[in-house]
Amino acid sequence: MEYYNKDNLIIRNMELSDAQDITDEEIAQGWDTDVSKYHKRLKDQKDGRCIALTAVFYGRAAGYINIYPNCMWGAFGGKGLPEIVDFGVLEKYRKHGIGTVLMDIAENIAGEYSDTVYLGVGLHSGYGSAQRMYAKRGYIPDGSGVWYRNKVCTPYENCNNDDDLVLYMSKSLRKQAHTVQESSPKTGETEDL
């Protein structure tokens, strides 16, 4: 299924060929990855557990995102809420708005299932741009603290700052009736919140 097609950017369901294309590009940019991750998303999509999307930019797989409508893990697992899982835009395709379009579509899909969506974001610097994007889009931490290897990391517990150390965040998808204006402390200009 195609969800978006404009200005040489297509967002559609992930296909088998995307798995290897994305994996090859991630390896080329120095990431430690394996095609099995994408094969799992494709299987979950086939089984109706997720909606796996690929961004195609000028005919090349450029990014991906997955929506699990009734996620069973993480801070909101088993509560009937959708989770956005494993979102990325390949480095050479960044700064073209691809990530924003992927997130917009993922949130629209999630909104078909619930008024709230959640996600987990890694804490090391490799996730820095994602952390900033989520904050700008209105995601807030759930308050359970950090999670390590799919469970809450208790205070003073040892853990590694790797891809398994995440902070869960959620966002209300309900439309706001009005926009709040606030003065920026640096410029005095107003910003939409």
pLDDT digits 0-9 by tens, 66-91: 999 999 999 999 999 999 999 999 99
From 55-59, 78-82, 142-146, 178-182, the region with the lowest mean pLDDT? 178-182
- Model pLDDT, residue 175: 64
Domain boundaries, the chain: 2-192
Element (H, E) at 86: strand 83-89
Q: Is the pLDDT of residue 119 over 70?
A: yes
Q: Of 3.40.47.40, 3.30.160.270, 3.40.50.300, 3.40.630.30, which CATH number belongs to 2-192? A: 3.40.630.30
Rounded-to-integer distance, Cα 44 and Cα 116, Å: 21
More confident residue, 5 or 176: 5
Question: pLDDT confidence of 1, banded at 50, 70, 90?
Answer: very high
pLDDT given at position 2: 97
What's the whole-number mean pLDDT along residues 83-100? 95
- CB count in 10 Å sphere of residue 175: 7
pLDDT of residue 101: 97
The model carries a pTM of 0.86
Confidence of residue 32 (pLDDT cuts 50, 70, 90): confident
SS3 label, residue 130: helix
Q: Please determine, for residue 179, whether its predicted confidence score (pLDDT) is greater than 50.
A: no
* Cα separation values, 178 from 55, 62, 116, 138, Å: 32, 35, 19, 15
